[in-house]
């Protein structure tokens, strides 16, 4: 069990290699299953902060030593990016549910066209700001706690 944990901890799986594997094996629609946007956006923003703050400041390879503020920012970005992709779909789903109560059923594509034609594309993101504020703060704290707990557990595993 401990050997498996060490192999996983030392593996060099990157976001890019994972994306290629998923595309090759399952196709592009697989990214809408699970938490792809959640974790990939966190990793991408974490790498961006590393590149910006450490590469330009010439502090060496300290990707795992990003401070709590940068980890929380990365987690917050990872938390709000899925909302960009999912919120319009959720808006259309809510409209379909509302219309079905009154007996009107137009379908997904028909509802989408009707909403965009009558109200514009901005309505697809109505109510997005409060959701993003909540997601940013909650996921920032979540990823910070995950990273520091993982670091603590890995140090205990190595000591064992």
pLDDT by residue, tens only, the chain of 160 residues:
445 545 555 556 777 787 888 889 988 878 777 677 777 788 888 878 777 776 665 555 555 567 788 888 888 998 898 888 888 988 999 889 888 888 877 888 888 999 999 999 999 998 889 989 999 999 999 988 988 898 888 888 777 7
The pLDDT of residue 64 is 59
The pLDDT of residue 155 is 84
The pLDDT of residue 120 is 92
The pLDDT of residue 1 is 47
Burial class (CB in 10 A: 0-12, 13-18, 19+), 2: exposed
Query: What is the Cα–Cα distance from 118 to 109, expressed in whole angstroms?
Result: 14
The pLDDT of residue 108 is 86
Angstrom distances, CA of residue 62 to CA of 16, 19, 46, 49, 58: 20, 24, 11, 11, 10
User: How many other C-beta atoms lie within 10 A of the C-beta of residue 112?
Assistant: 18
Reduced to 3 DSSP states, what percent helix, strand and coil does the chain have, rounded to the nearest 5? Answer: 80, 0, 20
The pLDDT of residue 57 is 58
Query: What is the Cα–Cα distance from 17 to 12, expressed in whole angstroms?
Result: 9
Angle, vertex CA 13, rays to CA 9 and CA 15, nearest 5: 130
Report residue 97 as tokens.
Answer: 């549910």
The pLDDT of residue 46 is 81
Query: What is the Cα–Cα distance from 136 to 115, expressed in whole angstroms?
Result: 28
């Amino acid at each position: 069990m401990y050997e498996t944990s060490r192999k996983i901890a030392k593996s060099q799986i990157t976001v890019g290699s994972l994306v290629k594997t998923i595309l090759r094996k399952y196709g592009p629609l697989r990214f809408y299953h699970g938490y792809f946007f959640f974790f990939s956006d966190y990793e991408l923003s974490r790498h961006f902060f590393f590149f910006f703050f450490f590469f330009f400041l010439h502090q060496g390879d300290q990707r795992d030593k990003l401070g709590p503020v940068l980890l929380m920012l990365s987690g917050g970005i990872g938390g709000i990016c899925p909302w960009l992709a999912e919120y319009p779909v959720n808006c259309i789903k809510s409209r379909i549910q509302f219309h079905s109560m009154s007996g009107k059923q137009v379908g997904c594509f028909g509802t989408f066209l009707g909403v965009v034609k009558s109200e514009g594309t901005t309505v697809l993101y109505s109510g997005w700001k409060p959701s993003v504020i909540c997601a940013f703060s909650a996921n920032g704290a979540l990823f910070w706690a995950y990273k520091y707990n993982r670091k603590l557990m890995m140090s205990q595993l190595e000591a064992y």
